[in-house]
Structure 1
Amino acid sequence: MAKAKKLPSGQWRTQVYSHSIPLYDEDGNPITDKNGKQKEKRIYESFTADGKKESEYMAAEFAFNKKRKARPENLTLSEAIDKYINSKDAILSPKTVSEYRKMKKVAFKDIMDLKVKDITEDRLQEAINREAKRNNEKATKNPKPISAKTVKNEYGLVATVLTKYNKNLDLSEIKLPAKQATIKELIPPETIFDIVKGTPIELPVMLAMWLSFSMSEIRGLKRSSVTSDGYITINQVVVDVDCKPVEKKQAKVFTRIRKHKIPDYIKGLIDALPEDQEYLVPLSGIAVNRRFSYLLKKNNLPHMTFHDLRHVNASVMALLRVPDRYAMERGGWKTDSTMKKVYTHTFSDQRQAVDEAIDNYFSEKIQHEMQHENHEPA
C-alpha cells in the first residue's frame, strides 16, 4: 500500500501508479531500449488531503477501482486491443503491430468504447454490417465502401481479442460480407515491358512480372542477394512501418524465402546499377506504385496494381502448363509444412526446366518488342 508523505504546507500526499505512456524522440520515432522494446514513462496519480489516513484512503480507493477496471471483462474493446498488442509486442512484427493500431483507430468505431462484457453476438453482427458500409477514407474522389477483405482483416483482430477476454461469446454464427468475384484485366507482358523499358521502374517491374517477387521482397533485395553462380535469393524484405522503411531479416512464411535463377536480361539491368548502390531498388513502394500507375495512364492502358504483376506471372505459368508444384514454389505460395517437404528438391532437373521455359517465354517477348521498336520508321 502506498504511503503518504507530509508536504511543506502541512498537508499529506500519496502517489499511486496510474499508467505508462510510450516515449518518442523529437522526430516522432519510438525510443527503444537495448532489446528493441519501446521505452515507457510511468504516470502517477496524486491524492492530497489534510490528514495522512484520508490521503492514503483516497489513493487506496483509486488503486482498487483501477484494478477492478483492469479485469479483462471490464476493459473497453479499445483497451482490450491495446492489452492484447502489448502482450505480444515482442512476438508480432512491427508491421503487424502498426496495422493493428491503425485498425483500432479507424475500424468498428461504434463498439470500440463498449466494455468487452457488454459486446454480444448481435451487437457484433450489427457492427460488422455497419463497418461493411464504411467508406474508404483514403479515397478522396468517388469514395467507395471498404472491401470485404478489409472487413475480414479487421474482424480477425476484433474476434481474437473478444475470444481471449470474453469467454461467453459464441462467434460461430457471425457472418462476414462475401468477397465479390472480380475479373482482372491483365495486360500482356510484352506491352508492360514496352512501357517500362528504360524507366527507373523497369527493374522492379521485371522482378515482379518475371520472377513473381512482391513489392516488399523487391525492396529488400541487395547486391549481396545476387550470387556469383547466377542466382538471386530472397531472405529479407523491406516494409513500411508508420510510413518509414523497416528491414525484416525473414519473410512472413518460410515459403517466401526462395532462390531464383537470374535471367540474362534482368542480370543486365542489375549490372548497370551504380556500384555504390546497396539496394537493387532504392525507391519506396509508394514511388514505384505511382510511377507504374502513371505509365499505364500515359499509354491509355487499363489500371493495374503493381501486385497484379504477380498475377501476370501466374498466368504465364498457367499458359506454359507449369506443374502446380513448381508454380507455387516459384511464387512462394506453399504452406510451411509443404515447403519443408519439397524445398530440398527445388533445383531438380524438372525445376530447372520450368525456369528455362519461363525465361525463354519472357526473353522471346522482350526480343520481339525490341526488334519491333528497332524497325519502326523514324
Structure 2
Amino acid sequence: MSLFGLFEQRASVENPDTDLTAAELMTLFGGSATDSGVPVSERSALAMAAVWRSVALISGVSAALPLVPYLRGTKQPASAPILAGPHPDMTPYELWRLTYAHRLLWGNAFVQKLRNGAGQIKELWPITPDKVRVYAYRPTEANPSGKVFWVETGTRDEPGPVIPLTSRDILHLPGLGYDGVVGLSVVQMARQTIGLGLAAERYGARFFGSGNLMGGILQTDARLEPGQADALKERWKAKMSGIDRSHEIAVLDSGAKFQTLTMPHDDAQFLESRNFEVEEVARWFGVPPFLLMLTERSTSWGTGLEQQALGWVMFDLHPQWLAPTEQRITKEVLLNPKVEARYRVNELLRGDSTARSSFYRTMRELGAFNADEIRDAEDLPPLPDGQGQTYWQPTTMTPIGEQPPPAAEPQGA
C-alpha cells in the first residue's frame, strides 16, 4: 500500500468504516479525551494560563538569544546570511519563536528550506506540525536520513494534495521521543494534568457564574404536575443564580425545602488544587514555578531567585531546547563544515554586571586571567596582535616574569 493510501484511509467523519466513539470524534476534531471530561488539544491547552506562560517563556527566551555563526571551535564570527534574514516577512525572532512553540506543543517543528538555483538555502518557512506525517525508511544516497515528510497542503475547507519531501527540503526539530524519528507532544503526555486544570477553571467560572448556587433538590409537600415542577425550578434558578445574586436570601413557603447534593465549596481547597495544577504543568515543561508567577513556596530573596533561574538555564533550557537547535541548524542549514551556529547563552548565565566585573577584576589582579580570557567569557574576540595574552603580577601589576621596578629612594636619605 502506498503512503498516499494510508492517508486516504485514515479515520474520518465521511468514512463509514470509522467507529465514531466519543474519543475518536474528539481526536478527529483536534482533542484527546481526558478523565476530567475536558478534551485537550495542542491549541486548547493554551487556554490554561500555566501552559501559555510556559510556552511563551521558553519560546520567547530561546528566540531572543543571539544565534551567531562562528568558525568551528573558535569565538571568531563567521558569515551566514540565512540566520540574519531567514524569511521574507518574519523576523528571525518571530520565526524561531514559532518553531519553539511548535516543538513545545506538538513535540516537533518543521521548517521548509527553499533553495536558489545553485542549491543554497535562501529562505525558511515554518509548517504547522499537524499538517506533517513522518515516516522512516532505509537510508539511501539520495535520502541519507531515510525520513520522508508527507505534508498536507491546502486548508480544511479546500484540501490539497499530500506532498512527499525529504530532509533536503525540511528542517525537522524533534523534541524528546523514544524512536529517534519524531518527538512526543508534551501536551498529549500531560493531557490529564492540563484537562484537570481546564476543568477546575470551568468549574470555578460556572460556580461563581451561578452565584454559588449548588445543585440540589427542591422539595414541597404539594403534588406538582411536570409543568409546575419545571416552572418552580426555573423560578428558583432565576431568583438565586448569577453572580449578582450571590448570597441572596430565599423565602420558601408551603413546606418547600432545598437540599444540596454537591460538596460545599471551600475557597482554600479550590485555590490549592489550582496551584497544584500549575506546579504539575511547571514540571512537565521544566519551568521553575516562580517563572509561572507561583511564588508561595519559592524564596523571594534576589540571590535565591537568581540561582533558580541559572539552574533552569543550565539544566533545562540549554540541554533540552537550545543545544538540539544549534546542532540541527549547523548540520542542515549552514552546510559548511567550518561554521557552526551557537547561542550566546552567557548572557543568561553570567549574573549581574556588578558581581561579574568584581570577579574579573579579582582574577585579573591575581594573575589568573588575562584580558583575552575575560573577553572570551563575555563572547568577545581576542585583542589584536596578542595584546590581551599578558598576565599581570599581583600588587605591582607588571608582566609575570619581570622584576618589579626598585622602590624610589626616600628624599633626604
Q: Which range, TM-score by smaller chain?
A: under 0.3
TM-score using structure 2 length: 0.19
The structure where helix makes up a greater share of residues is 1
Q: TM-score, normalised by structure 1?
A: 0.20
RCO comparison, higher one (Cα < 8 Å, 6+): 2
